[in-house]
Amino acid sequence: MLVMAYGRSYGLPVITTRGNNVYGPNQFPEKLIPKFILLAMRGMVLPIHGDGSNVRSYLYCEDVAEAFEVILHRGEVGHVYNIGTKKERRVIDVAKDICKLFLMDPEKSIEFVENRPFNDQRYFLDDQKLKNLGWSERVIWEEGLKKTIDWYTKHPNWWGDVSGALLPHPRMLMIPGGRHFDFEEPNRMSHVNVPKLPNGKSKL
| pLDDT at residue 104, as a whole number | 97
Please state, rounded to an integer, the average pLDDT across all residues of the chain.
87
Q: Would you list the domain boundaries of the chain?
A: 22-67+87-123+139-154
Q: Quick one: pLDDT at residue 200? A: 53
Angle at 101 between CA 46 and CA 116, to 5 degrees: 25
Q: How far is CA 178 from the centre of its chain?
A: 25
Q: For residues 165 and 184, what is the distance between their CA atoms, to the nearest angstrom?
A: 11
Which CATH code of 3.20.20.370, 3.30.365.10, 3.40.50.300, 3.90.25.10 fits the domain covering 22-67+87-123+139-154? 3.90.25.10
Q: Give yes or no for a contact between 56 and 84, defined as CB atoms under 8 angstroms apart.
A: no
Strand partners, 59: 22
33, 86 contact by CB (below 8 A): no
Which stretches in the chain have pLDDT values below 50? 172-188, 197-198, 204
Sign of CA dihedral 169, 22, 96, 154: negative
Count the neighbouring beta carbons within 10 Å of the beta carbon of residue 80: 13
For residue 55, which of 105, 104, 125 has the smallest C-alpha distance?
125
pLDDT of residue 2: 84
Whole-number Å distance between alpha carbons of 70 and 68:
6
